[in-house]
Amino acid sequence: MLTEQNKTVVRRFIENFNKQDVETLPRDFADDYVLDFPGGPTGQGREGIRQATSSFMAAFPDLHFSIDDLFAEGDRVAWRWTMTGTHKGNLGPFPASGKSVRLSGISLLRLREGKIMEDKVRADMVGLLQQIGVIPAPGQGGS
C-alpha cells in the first residue's frame, strides 16, 4: 500500500509541475528536501523546490512532463520522463533561443511519510544545450 501512496504523491507532483502551480507544488515536499540535479537547477527544502521550479518554468513557460515509466518499491519511486517545451526565458546564463526542446531523463525519489525528501535527477543536459544552440550538435561546427 505504501508504494501506491508514494506513486500517487509523485503523480500529483508531476501534475502540479505541468500546471506550473508553484504555490501547491511544495506541499508534496519535506522540509529537509534535497534536489540533486547535475547541470540543472538546485534546491533544498520547500523554498528551494519553489525557486528551482520557478526558474525552470520561466525558461520553458510551456513545459510539459510526460511519464514514460513509473516504478515504486517501499519508500522509493523512479520515473523515466520526457520534457517538452520552448526555450523562451533565460536558462541560467543562457538567453532565450525560442527553440522547441525535448529532454529525456530519470528521477529517483525517496519519500518519507507521504513527502518527497530526496530527488536525484539525471537528464541529457548536453542534448538540451545542443537543442538551444549553446553547444554544437555532433557534426555541426568544431574542428
Q: Which CATH architecture does the domain made up of 2-131 adopt?
A: Roll (3.10)
Q: Is the pLDDT of residue 139 over 90?
A: no
The arrangement of strands across the sheet holding 43-44 comes to 43-44, 29-36, 115-123, 100-112, 76-86, 64-73
So where are the chain's domains?
A: 2-131
Q: Which amino acid is at 23?
A: E
Mean pLDDT, rounded, for 87-98: 94
Mean pLDDT, rounded, for 48-67: 90
The pLDDT, as a whole number, for residue 116 is: 95
Q: Is the pLDDT of residue 120 over 90?
A: yes
Q: Which of the four pLDDT bands, split at 50, 70 and 90, describes residue 95?
A: very high
